[in-house]
Amino acid sequence: MNAMNTAISKIGVVPVIKLNHPERDAVGLAKALCAGGVPVAEVTFRAAGADKAIKLMKEACPDMIVGAGTVTNTAQIDAVIAVGGDFIVSPGFDPEIVAYAQEKGIPVFPGCTTASEYHQALKFGLELIKFFPAEQSGGLAKIKALSAPFPMFKVMPTGGISLKNLKDYISNPVIAACGGSYMVTADLIDNNKWDEITEQCKKSREIVEEARA
């Protein structure tokens, strides 16, 4: 895998974040994630100002990997690149989004849950793809099934991942990392419960390290 994919895989978990108040919460959140051993974040465009949040998080923690999620148009890609974002995640496979991100030289992880989408990803030369929504789309059993005809992919399942099933997913060699919002819920962020977020991240990293030992 390339350097970005390898770095994300090494961490093993990717917090999927909706920030309603970037100016208030981005810096504290970035520091909480890094303190928990999870220096990576997918800041989604489900809330306005995702690019602003990425900029603030990168400024606060320069070594942190911070990308954008729920990217659905090329203008958002331009906005992410402008603030130094590290990667793009789209909920589904949109050839225009993938092609544009590759043209701009920023890693892109499109959502793929079918053989047809995997095949498209193969044509674009991707190594790491998002599997979303994971649990609702067949979970680990379907990921295993799709890996038979497509062994070249590493997968980042997102959707329905928690501390309860993280070990099951991350123990499978097909899984590069798991995306999740359980450690960055609205309650934790909006109430600035940074210590709890850090603790959730530490528990996640312990599970990853134990599974891969």
Is the full-model pTM beyond 0.85? Answer: yes
Is 42 a residue of the active site? yes
Residue 87, Cβ density class (10 Å: 0-12 exposed, 13-18 middle, ≥19 buried): buried
What parts of the chain have a pLDDT lower than 50? none
Residue tagged active-site, from 42, 55, 58, 154: 42
pLDDT score, position 97? 98
Q: Which residue has the tokens 């528990």?
A: 203
Q: Out of 1.10.10.1800, 3.20.20.150, 3.20.20.70, 3.40.30.10, which CATH number does the structure's domain 3-212 have?
A: 3.20.20.70
Is 127 a residue of the active site? no
The sign one gets for the Cα dihedral 155, 27, 100, 10 is negative
Residue tagged active-site, from 18, 55, 58, 130: 130
* pLDDT tens sequence across 80-133: 999 999 999 999 999 999 999 999 999 999 999 999 999 999 999 999 999 999
